[in-house]
Amino acid sequence: MIPCLKQRTRCEIWFASPGGTYMFEATNECAADGCDECPRVTAGSKTGEDYHLCGSTHAEANAAAKVHPGFNSEYGPGTAYLYGHDWFCRDCQHALTAAGVTTFVITGRPA
């Protein structure tokens, strides 16, 4: 996987507990290795469509996958911070919720 050719995003998931603060972080990636331009851009795809063209994985889902099973039950709910984008898609919301995230923050800052 390589960094996304269209738009770079980054997600941080923070958990705070009396024992410390823990952070899991990831960026978005795609499988369009060897391309100079995003295949979704070339196809004229709208935002949120045709991710199958590039094999994209979202930063939010990638970060959620790093959270160890049961982690949130020990450390309490987490907060997800999104950089470089202005919305959480439904699939990423589900992945983050399954990882123990209860608060979603769009930072408005670049990745």
Q: Give the tens place of pLDDT for each residue, 24-61.
A: 999 999 998 888 899 999 999 998 889 889 898 999 99
Domain harbouring 79, CATH code: 3.40.140
**Alpha carbon distances (Å) from 107 to 51, 80, 83, 85:** 23, 10, 6, 8
Residue 97's domain comprises: 2-106
Q: What is the mean pLDDT of the chain?
A: 91
Domain count, the chain: 1
Return the minimum-mean-pLDDT range out of 16-20, 44-48, 61-65, 91-95: 16-20
Confirm whether 64 is domain-assigned. Answer: yes
- Which residue, chain included where needed, has tokens 């950089």? 83
Confirm whether 111 is domain-assigned. Answer: no
